Chain A
């Protein structure tokens, strides 16, 4: 695990943070140390590289829809949505109104459960096992609902598909979601309690200024934690987000705590979105009625860069269609790609080794969408 470093004059030895570290995910950072101090860090991705972009060039959109789950394990429904929107645009599908509402509800539930995992790994990284256990426990209530609606607890297997969603809500789904909201609220309040040990670990650690955040391509809670009020749902609205009323939480400090707090405040906004969408949920079809399970992608021509606000920030698909059965080129932009390579290398210079987990997990990493 450690090796003495004879080439670098400044550092004593190099150490691997991950990929076998509990909670680091399938990701590693090589840190050059001098005593307890980290001098320099180099990100080492690639443990989860499955080559989705190439795989999608060999598969038809309905198959890709299932594949898009796997772009990020922790927020599969949102990646379903980005993929579906790209195909919808290229095929010129009109999405039924009810499907748009269901898509938004599912995406927001997925965002909340992903934020719970964030709180869980932050707790795990700083030795607060109670936080981890409670958070993962409360996440399971959401997974039960996802299981009822999509048939899969974690992977929905392309529930949000081109043309709408696969199936309508089962009869008791609406009630179950409404009953779920107070539980989410309890967990949210628990996470926002200002625990002194928690503050000591995260306050004024890993400060990313506003200018740096924009230059390094930060998005989502990381960017909003550095004082930039932007959200793809507001600035580049998709589905029905422009009709809904919600706020964008922003913090100016730019440290690990402010990034985390922005994420937890977002849960309340997601709850507002879900409530509004449930109240207005129209009746009707949930998929374009003429659509057969196979998307006739030969009819599609053109290209599009579609952006969505996934839990971690800006998730995007660049899809080029040239009249073949399969897309000609697919490019996936994962938000963690910029967070976990340039930003983590920038923040992990000249810090204490004890702060590495706090900084690392405050960036809300998902190794799966770095590698794709």
Chain B
């Protein structure tokens, strides 16, 4: 029977080996966050190349694509969360793109419909343009003509007050004029 300590050591050495492999193959510095969680920062032009390499290394499950809006820095951070069924680790690939002209290449060459659908969502809610994705039609919002609603500078409370508040109806006052 392997003792708890030696099992821990073995786990650690497997993890170190994986980080080393990722460092050399992806040609970037892979960081350890917590147990089974790794992340790496890359340039936006390298996204397809890096994801292809990660895929070949066993990170074959694209869990999701997310966007974080860093309003102060004028950047949108696109994060790709990849899980590996062979290594049992999650690799988060992060890249920052310009907030005014958010453009990045699509990953549909690797994950087909899955990547395309995740990108459709990010396009609709954050306005990111995914080059190479043939179908960026809206998923959720119907007849929406406003700005991408999940951006930090879109205040939905203001928007609803402006568009939906029927001031003649006293009942609606309760919802729209909240005491602070």
Contact = CB atoms under 8 A, between A and B. Distances in A.
A45 interface: yes
A51 B149 contact: yes
Nearest to B121: A337
A46 B124 CA distance: 12
A217 B156 contact: no
A342 B85 contact: no
Interface in B101-143: 111-114, 116-118, 125, 138-142
A167 B116 CA distance: 43
Nearest to A211: B60
A305 B140 contact: no
A342 B117 contact: yes
Contact of B114 (A53, A54, A338): A338
Interface in B79-99: 79, 81, 83, 85, 88, 90, 92
Contact of A217 (B34, B61, B69, B157): B61
Nearest to A314: B63
B111 A215 contact: yes
A216 B156 contact: no
A262 to B, nearest CB: 17
Contacts of B53: none
Contacts of B81: 305, 316, 318, 333
Contact of B69 (A235, A305, A329): A329
Interface string A32-56: 0000000000000110010101100
A51 B139 CA distance: 13
Interface in A285-319: 304-305, 307, 314, 316, 318
Q: Is the interface of A mostly helix, strand, loop or mixed?
A: mixed
Contacts of B79: 318
Contact of B68 (A54, A228, A328, A371): A328
A328 B64 CA distance: 18
B114 A228 contact: no
Nearest to A372: B140
Contacts of B114: 215-217, 338, 342
B176 interface: no
A263 B79 CA distance: 31
Contact of B61 (A46, A51, A54, A214): A214
B161 interface: no
Contacts of A307: 63, 83, 90
A338 B139 CA distance: 13
Nearest to A342: B113
A272 interface: no
Contacts of A219: 61
A341 to B, nearest CB: 5
Contacts of A228: 85
Contacts of A185: none
Interface string A338-354: 10011101100000000
B10 interface: no
Given A46-B140, A307-B83, A318-B81, A338 B117 contact: yes
A49 B90 contact: no
A112 interface: no
B51 interface: no
B37 interface: yes
A107 interface: no
A235 B63 CA distance: 15
A345 B113 contact: yes
A54 B149 contact: yes
Contacts of A342: 112-114, 116-117
24 contacts: A46-B142, A49-B140, A51-B149, A53-B125, A54-B150, A58-B157, A89-B34, A215-B112, A228-B85, A230-B85, A236-B36, A236-B83, A236-B90, A304-B34, A304-B37, A305-B81, A307-B83, A316-B63, A318-B64, A328-B68, A331-B66, A337-B117, A341-B113, A342-B113
Given A215-B114, A236-B36, 10 more contacts: A45-B139, A214-B60, A215-B112, A217-B63, A217-B114, A235-B85, A316-B81, A320-B68, A342-B113, A346-B113
Interface of A: 45-46, 49, 51, 53-54, 58, 89, 214-217, 219, 228, 230, 235-236, 304-305, 307, 314, 316, 318, 320, 328-329, 331, 333, 337-338, 341-343, 345-346, 371
Interface of B: 33-34, 36-37, 60-64, 66, 68-69, 79, 81, 83, 85, 88, 90, 92, 111-114, 116-118, 125, 138-142, 149-150, 156-157
